[in-house]
Amino acid sequence: MFDSLKSKLKGVRSRFSREIEESFIEEVSLDEEISSPTPLTASKEVSAETESSDIPEASETPEPKVPSEIKKDKVAFSAKVRTLLKDREVHISEKKIEGPLQELEIILLENDVALQTVDAISTQMRSELTGSTKKIGSSIDNMVMDALRDALLDVLGEGFSLTSYISTHDHPVKVLFTGVNGAGKTTTIAKVAAYLKAEGYSVVIGSGDTFRAGANEQMKTHADRVGVKVIRHQEGADPSAVLYDAVEYAKAHDIDVVLADTAGRFHNRANLMNQLAKIKRVFKPDIVAYVDEAVAGNDAVIRAEEFNNAVGTDVVVLTKADMDTKGGAAISIAHTIGRPIMFLGTGQEYTNIIPFEPETLVSDLLGDE
Ligand SMILES: Nc1nc2c(ncn2[C@@H]2O[C@H](COP(=O)(O)OP(=O)(O)OP(=O)(O)O)[C@@H](O)[C@H]2O)c(=O)[nH]1
């Protein structure tokens, strides 16, 4: 999942660290250290905090150095500056991180992160890394990592736990699934049903896709496999009536959750969008879940926004995350439409669904152990 983005983020993180470190190495007047017999004249922020024990002794009669010795000196010197920087207060100017920031922006754009989300991540990184004096903790790498983690968490928002919602609201909780054709709504409903059953909740499915030939049978097959009752009418029936019946069944049988399927549709099909508005009026969902493919990248973000504007959306489910190497939709969608992600679909098995937790995604993206 999101492998291309992961490896690129790793690269740009090292570049941030390198550039920040190198700029301090320059400040500590490298030439002077290598060629002159005088002690290291550490300058600016670092020198102010360097203790006398950190400063190498000057030899009285220095021998001229051969190139290999100079190289070794440089390496040793960089290591020394790195040590000096740890637990020090330093000032990082915007200039020092401009190059890597631009690289980060390009990487995010190339991986389908929406422009406004890229801007937000970049602004947050800039403000967290620069400006006032910073205390570098264990290392510059960690400081960069923390800034990137905070920026990503900021755009990902809080996530949405369906089980927490169910445990704190009246039953039956009604979830309406909307989205474009073939995004994976029907499969997702079966996966969510299996997930909720495993969490100890009873579920009924309303087969509200009465439009596509074979959709009823497909839903029934999935429901049978995960052991959940499905309410169906004949093909072409009014989906609002099917879903109304599903709610009545849930009330009569003390069922915790109703999961309602709908036919796939595009936001620009006015009659189908009006039908969805009617379904909402009759079914009165507690949660409207917009389903789209993570692999669709920017298109998924644009469609989610259009659905949200047309019929409203409370949460998003991104399917086929297992096939998505970029992660752009997962990173941008909550920030762009202002609605949290509820689940990620990660394969074709019924167990291939994970509740979306921003911290887990960010740890995965940044390669935490
Ligand atoms: N790899 C992968 N495939 C998935 C995932 N979710 C769904 N699919 C596949 O996507 C295809 C379409 O899924 P459906 O559930 O039929 O899609 P739908 O949105 O109900 O389709 P319509 O009824 O046309 O609106 C199927 O082949 C699913 O197995 C996922 O998370 N990963």
Q: How far, in Å, from the CA of 187 to the mean position of ligand 1? A: 5
Please give the pLDDT value at position 43.
Answer: 38
Q: Which pLDDT belongs to residue 40?
A: 41
Residue nearest to atom 8 of ligand 1 (CA): 184
- Whole-number Å distance, alpha carbon 180 to ligand 1 midpoint, is 11
Q: Mutate which of 293, 348, 353, 354 to test ligand 1's pocket (most atoms within 8 Å of Cβ)? A: 348
Q: How far apart are CA 104 and CA 97, in angstroms?
A: 10
Question: Relative to the CA of 187, which ligand 1 atom is closest?
Answer: 15
To the question of whether residue 321 is assigned a binding role by annotation, the answer is: yes
How close is the Cα of 217 to the center of ligand 1, in Å?
15
Instruction: State in Å, rounded, how far the first CA of the chain is from the last one.
Output: 16
Would you write out the chain's pLDDT as a tens digit for each of its 369 residues?
A: 999 999 999 999 888 888 887 777 666 544 445 545 444 433 344 433 433 344 444 445 556 666 666 666 666 666 666 655 655 667 788 888 899 999 999 999 999 999 999 999 999 999 988 865 666 666 788 888 999 999 999 999 999 999 999 999 999 999 999 999 999 999 999 999 999 999 999 999 999 999 988 999 999 999 999 999 999 999 999 999 999 999 999 999 999 999 999 998 887 777 888 889 999 999 999 999 999 999 999 999 999 999 999 889 999 999 999 999 999 999 999 999 999 999 999 999 999 999 999 999 999 999 864
Residue to probe by mutation, ligand 1, list 225, 295, 319, 353, most atoms within 8 Å of CB: 319
For 140, the token pair is 């510059």
**Domain range 162-365, CATH class:** alpha beta
Which atom of ligand 1 has the smallest separation from the CA of 291?
A: 19
Q: Which residues line ligand 1 (CB under 6 A)?
A: 181-187, 209, 212, 215, 264, 319-320, 322-323, 345-348, 352
Which residue, judged by its Cα, is nearest atom 6 of ligand 1? Answer: 184
pLDDT at residue number 162? 98
CA-to-CA separations, 165 to 162, 171, 311, 344, in angstroms, rounded: 5, 11, 21, 17
Give residue 216's identity as a one-letter amino acid code. Answer: N
Helix (H, G, I), strand (E, B) or coil at 173: strand
Contact in structure between 5 and 152 (CB atoms under 8 Å): no
Atom of ligand 1 nearest to the CA of 319: 31
Q: Which of ligand 1's atoms lies nearest the C-alpha of 212? A: 23
179 annotated ligand binder = yes
**ipTM of this complex prediction, to 2 decimal places:** 0.97
274 annotated among ligand-binding-site residues: no
Q: Is 180 annotated as a binding residue?
A: yes
Confirm whether residue 154 is marked as ligand binding: no
Alpha carbon of 186 to ligand 1 centroid (Å):
7
pTM of the model: 0.84
Is 320 labelled a binding residue?
A: yes
φ, ψ for residue 153 (rounded to 5)? Answer: -60, -35
Q: What pLDDT is recorded for position 38?
A: 45
Taking the centre of ligand 1 as the mean of its atom positions, its distance from the CA of residue 184, in whole angstroms, is 3
Closest ligand 1 atom number to CA of residue 323: 1
Separation of alpha carbons 320 and 293, rounded Å: 6
Query: Per the omega criterion (within 30 degrees of 0), is the bond before 37 cis?
Result: no
Among protein residues, the one with the nearest Cα to ligand 1's atom 29 is 348
Superfamily of domain 1-156: SRP54, nucleotide-binding domain (1.20.120.140)
Question: Is 296 among the annotated ligand-binding positions?
Answer: no
Residue where the block lists tokens 């890394």: 129
β-pair partners for 135: 89
Say whether 263 counts as a known binding-site residue.
Answer: yes
181 annotated as a binding-site residue: yes
* Residue 105 alpha carbon to ligand 1 centre in Å: 32
Most distant pair of Cα atoms in the chain: their distance: 98
